[in-house]
């Protein structure tokens, strides 16, 4: 039997309900905040991610699904949403809209990572980008929304880790410091980190290698936060006080480094206490230089993404159920084979306001009730000779057993007004 590719999953039933619940709650908050939904293509020119994520990141170096199209162009399945959204903002001249422009999206992302619990090759994110403002208010709003959506889903065991990666100049100084302290131990670092030592030493802090992490501890490497210039430091202080005023609890994480090369200033992650190794539910940051890297005018931006599968795992871990599927209102059964077309016709007249299924073979009433119960229907509707002649349906309330006969055209309004037999 053919199976789904390793690291990919079918979403259906409960897993899909979790997805819909998470996206639905995010949509409520993000639209309320003035966000407009955007759906960008699932693949882009590879250069969008090389520039927009950064060539020294793990994502670009190791994790992209890249292919060449028939015209010889290099294309990549999107590993994240921000670069495509900023590309679209620039391409469609959203710079002339009232600023900031707030865009949100939900959809699949693709990374060639080693699959494990909470880490897939195709996964889904919901994300929010605020483009055109460098105000710390925009950062605080973005952080708050990412946190409040998770709280509103019922999650309690979440922690918000806030930090700053400084301005580009601060990072240059920090990278120079890292090169200097790490150089004497360079031979002991993992091959990846030896390469990073030249290209982007900051990435070494992110290394998954135990040895790298031990060396960092032994050298008591100072955190990025020690290297903030006065402007980035003031910005962080403003974001902190805005969050405190909103009663959003956070801890300062002095060593936070996010996956993108071009993050500046504010960066944050939200973790879940019950999820083990892959505990990050999401994260975000400010990326003021990104627009220019994609060939646009200077446009500050801040945004985040939540991993939908991770949030679903966290909800399960806290015993939170997804919003239930729309229940079946009526299960229609014809009592005689000749009347089967009427069951379909009745269903068509009741769709889409009511959720209706009908039996494809005639049923005796007792059997029809059992079938309706199996499907969780509220009512079973019989069509016999009488109903056929008078264009009515006889509806039986599955839980109370009460019965009512109604003209078909009155069934919808009867339901709207509460539908008591
Ligand atoms: P990132 O864009 O790497 O900051 O990811 C944002 C969030 O997406 C993470 O915190 C995870 O919740 C989720 N995520 C990232 N990579 C994966 C993956 N390979 N599988 C499942 N979820 C992921």
| pLDDT, tens digit (0-9, with 9 covering 90-100), for 55-101 | 878 888 889 999 999 999 999 999 999 999 999 999 999 999 999 99
Residue 205 has pLDDT above 90, yes or no: no
Percent of the chain with pLDDT over 90: 87
pLDDT attached to residue 421: 54
Average pLDDT over residues 42-50: 96
Residue pLDDT, tens place only, 185-196: 999 999 989 988
Residue 206's pLDDT is 81
In the predicted structure, residue 250 carries a pLDDT above the cut 60:
yes
Euclidean distance between CA atoms 66 and 77, whole angstroms: 7
Question: Which carries the bigger pLDDT value, residue 415 or residue 418?
Answer: 415
Out of 3.30.930.10, 2.60.120.260, 3.30.9.100, 3.75.10.10, select the CATH number for domain 13-167+229-317: 3.30.930.10
Whether 13-167+229-317 and 330-416 share one fold: the answer is: no
For residue 420, name the pLDDT band (cuts at 50, 70, 90). low
CATH topology of domain 330-416: Rossmann fold (3.40.50)
CA of 97 to the centre of ligand 1 (A): 31
Tens of pLDDT, residues 116-170? 999 999 999 999 999 999 999 999 999 999 999 999 999 999 999 999 999 989 9
Domain ranges of the chain: 13-167+229-317, 330-416
Contact 346, 358 (CB under 8 A): yes
- In the prediction, which pLDDT does 259 show? 65
When the pLDDT of each residue in the chain is averaged and rounded to a whole number, the result is: 95
Structure tokens at 191: 């091959």
Mean pLDDT of 8-35: 98
Mutate to test the pocket of ligand 1, among 79, 81, 165, 305 (most ligand atoms within 8 A of CB): 305
Q: Is 280 in the pocket of ligand 1 (CB under 6 A)?
A: yes
**pLDDT confidence of residue 263:** 87
pLDDT for residue 54: 84
Quote the percentage of the chain above a pLDDT of 70: 99
pLDDT in tens, 268-283: 999 999 998 889 999 9
Mutate to test the pocket of ligand 1, among 22, 123, 253, 272 (most ligand atoms within 8 A of CB): 123
Q: How far is the CA of 358 from the centre of ligand 1 (A)?
A: 42
User: For residue 35, how far is its CA from the centre of ligand 1 (angstroms)?
Assistant: 22
Asked if residue 100 has a cis previous peptide bond (ω within 30° of 0), the answer is: yes
Q: Give the confidence band of 3 by pLDDT, cuts at 50, 70, 90.
A: very high
**How confident is the model at residue 35, as a pLDDT?**
98
Tell me the C-alpha distance between 319 and 172, whole Å: 45
Backbone angles phi, psi at 95, to 5 degrees: -65, -25
Rounded CA separation 11/341 (Å): 33
Measured CA to CA, the distance from residue 236 to residue 416 in angstroms comes to 52
């Amino acid at each position: 039997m053919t199976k789904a590719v390793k690291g990919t999953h079918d979403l259906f039933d409960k897993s899909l309900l979790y997805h819909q619940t998470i996206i639905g709650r995010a949509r409520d908050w993000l639209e309320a905040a003035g966000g407009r939904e955007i759906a960008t293509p699932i693949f882009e020119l590879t250069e969008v991610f090389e520039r927009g994520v950064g060539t020294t990141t793990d994502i670009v170096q190791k994790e992209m699904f890249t292919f060449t199209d028939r015209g010889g162009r290099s294309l990549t399945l999107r590993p994240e949403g921000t670069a495509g959204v900023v590309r679209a903002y620039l391409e469609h001249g959203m710079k002339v809209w009232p600023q900031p422009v707030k865009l949100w999206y939900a959809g699949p992302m693709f990374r060639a990572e080693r699959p494990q619990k909470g880490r897939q090759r195709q996964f889904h994110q919901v994300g929010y980008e605020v483009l055109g403002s460098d105000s710390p208010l925009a950062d605080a709003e973005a952080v708050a929304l990412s946190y409040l959506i998770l709280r509103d889903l019922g999650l309690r065991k979440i922690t918000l880790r806030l930090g700053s990666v400084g301005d580009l100049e601060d990072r240059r100084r920090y990278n120079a410091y890292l090169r200097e302290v790490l150089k004497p131990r360079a031979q002991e670092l993992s091959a990846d980190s030896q390469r990073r030592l030249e290209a982007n030493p900051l990435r070494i802090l992110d290394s998954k290698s135990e040895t790298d992490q031990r060396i960092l501890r032994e050298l008591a490497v100072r955190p990025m936060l020690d290297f903030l210039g006065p402007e980035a430091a003031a910005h962080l202080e403003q974001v902190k006080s805005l969050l405190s005023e909103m009663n959003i609890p956070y801890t300062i994480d002095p060593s936070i480094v996010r996956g993108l090369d071009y993050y500046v200033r504010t960066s944050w992650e939200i973790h879940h206490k019950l999820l083990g190794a892959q505990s990050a539910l999401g994260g975000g940051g400010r990326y003021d230089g990104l627009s220019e890297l994609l060939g646009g005018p200077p446009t500050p931006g801040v945004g985040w993404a939540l991993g939908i599968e991770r949030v679903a795992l966290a909800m399960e871990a806290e015993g939170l159920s997804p919003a239930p599927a729309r229940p079946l209102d009526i299960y229609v059964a014809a009592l005689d084979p000749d009347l089967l077309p009427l069951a379909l016709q009745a269903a068509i007249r009741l769709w889409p306001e009511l959720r209706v299924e009908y039996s494809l073979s005639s049923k005796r009433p007792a059997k029809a009730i059992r079938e309706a119960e199996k499907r969780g229907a509220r009512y079973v509707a019989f069509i016999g000779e009488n109903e056929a002649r008078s264009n009515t349906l006889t509806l039986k309330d599955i839980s109370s057993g009460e019965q009512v006969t109604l003209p078909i055209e009155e069934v919808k309004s009867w339901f709207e007004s509460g539908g008591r037999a």
